[in-house]
Amino acid sequence: MPLVAHTDLPTFDRLRREGEEIVDPERAKQQDIREMHIGLLNMMPDAALEATERQFFRLVGACNQIVQFHMHPFTIDGLPRSEKAQAHIDAYYEPFAKIKADGLDGLIISGANVTRPRLPEEDFWLPLMEVVSWAKENVTSTLCSCLATHAVVEHCYGIARTRLPAKRWGVFAHKLTDRTHPLVAETNTRFDVPHSRFNEIFQADMERKGLQVLVVSLKSGVHLAVSPDGFRLVFFQGHPEYDDISLMKEYKREVARFYRGELAEYPPFPENYFNKIARHSLSGYQQRVLDARQNNLAIPEFPEALLMEHLDNTWRDSAKAVFNNWLGKIYQLTNQDRRLPFMAGVNPENPLGLSIKQPLPKK
């Protein structure tokens, strides 16, 4: 159902131009449809800040529940920002104090770039943990993406992530390990997911702490897991929100970093992403970059236009299905008129076992 453009955030206009259904506030008021309010804690670096808004907004807007979705982007201290990105945040993002006062039905926490060897040493760690602690007490379900998964799993379950020998980067085949869990209902038993990370939390460590692993890959490890109660915390290690061009844009940035001397070696291709024609074109581009770097010339223009027709999205449908299931279960719980099938035998007044002294906040 539609997203409601309840602010002037430019992402709403961008999505409308792309064909997404976006409803203005006046029209929304005339519809007798329940509202759901979903927070997006956007911690992504400047280059991906607005793209991350669009990616997660699209997945929420694709949900088939009969609901009006109000998205509430916000961020935290401890993340370096350019003047332009900070101006965007100041103009369109909500303060966390307002988020707490108004309440949310669900929360999405994005990934982030890191600069320290251990996550608790990052400047954003304490502000992030403040949000996580509040959400555990006041939000029905929180969905964590990539770095956020690593941070929340370490904070809640004491599992520190492990550095990988090389960057795990590309599109990988995955398989369901639990076909009965509501989050993966109506999804394919095998599907692709993009990954882009240097670190991993392993399946054995998750299961040792009682987390339920739902989707894994032989090559890229766990993609989807949930907290022991089955729903309160949802963990992605992959990036199902990515657009078909996301890994191409990241590859372009990595090439630029190599050209500037920030990387010692020319970046490899993301696995299982560029087809033979695209790889051939990029191999020629690599030689031009090497020549330009050696001769102190400007970096050649990246051949985006040539690559576009050779990029495929093989993960979007499964991503939509999981998000639809996630938002549908939040709808059921916050309506308090249905109970999740995997929670039989629990207290109907508090089906998730939340430590809440008053009802969940309603808009």
pLDDT tens track for 99-128: 999 999 999 999 999 999 999 999 999 999
> SS3 for 315?
coil
| Tens digits of residue pLDDT in 50-80 | 999 999 999 999 998 889 999 999 999 999 9
What is the structure's pLDDT at 1?
63
> SS3 for 18?
coil
Written as one letter, the residue type at 238 is G
Instruction: Find residue 199's DSSP bridge partners.
Output: 163
Q: Are residues 140 and 206 in the same domain?
A: yes
Check pLDDT > 70 for residue 349: no
d(CA 193, CA 217): 9
Q: Are residues 133 and 22 in the same domain?
A: yes
What is the structure's pLDDT at 127?
98
Contact 37, 104 (CB under 8 A): yes
- The rounded mean pLDDT for the chain is 91
Written as one letter, the residue type at 165 is P
- The position carrying tokens 């759901």 is 36
d(CA 65, CA 186): 15
What is the structure's pLDDT at 334?
87
| Tens digits of residue pLDDT in 152-172 | 999 999 999 999 999 999 999
Q: Are residues 119 and 23 in the same domain?
A: yes
Contact partners, residue 337, CB within 8 Å, separation at least 6: none
Report which of 152, 154, 134, 156 is spatially closest to residue 143, judged by C-alpha positions. Answer: 152
What is the mean pLDDT of the segment spanning 206-231? Answer: 97
| Tens digits of residue pLDDT in 13-51 | 999 999 999 999 989 888 888 999 999 999 999 999 999
Check pLDDT > 50 for residue 356: no
DSSP single-letter state for residue 271: B
Q: Are residues 268 and 136 in the same domain?
A: no
Check pLDDT > 80 for residue 137: yes
Q: Name the residue with higher pLDDT: 344 or 200.
A: 200
Check pLDDT > 70 for residue 338: no
> SS3 for 362?
coil
Check pLDDT > 70 for residue 242: yes
Element (H, E) at 10: helix 10-17
Q: Among residues 146, 150, 174, 223, which one is catalytic? A: 146
The arrangement of strands across the sheet holding 35-41 comes to 22-23, 3-4, 68-74, 35-41, 106-109, 141-145, 233-236, 221-226, 212-217, 162-176, 190-200
Q: Are residues 177 and 83 in the same domain?
A: yes
Q: Among residues 50, 53, 241, 254, which one is catalytic? A: 241
What is the Rg, in whole angstroms, of the alpha carbon atoms belonging to the chain? Answer: 21
What is the mean pLDDT of the segment spanning 199-226? Answer: 97
pLDDT band with cut points at 50, 70 and 90 for residue 321: very high
The domain that holds 203 is classified in CATH as: 3.40.50.880
Q: Are residues 77 and 171 in the same domain?
A: yes
Q: Are residues 131 and 280 in the same domain?
A: no
Domain limits for position 82 = 3-243+313-343
In sequence order, what DSSP letters do the residues of 75-106 get, joined into one string? --SSS---HHHHHHHHHHPPPHHHHHHH--SE
Contact partners, residue 302, CB within 8 Å, separation at least 6: 252, 255, 285
What is the structure's pLDDT at 64?
87
Check pLDDT > 90 for residue 348: no
What is the mean pLDDT of the segment spanning 226-245? Answer: 97
Q: Among residues 63, 88, 239, 250, which one is catalytic? A: 239
Q: Are residues 291 and 149 in the same domain?
A: no
Q: Are residues 64 and 109 in the same domain?
A: yes
pLDDT band with cut points at 50, 70 and 90 for residue 357: very low
Q: Is 146 a catalytic residue?
A: yes
pLDDT band with cut points at 50, 70 and 90 for residue 2: confident
Q: Are residues 212 and 283 in the same domain?
A: no
Q: Are residues 279 and 237 in the same domain?
A: no
> SS3 for 57?
helix
d(CA 89, CA 83): 10
Q: Is 156 a catalytic residue?
A: no
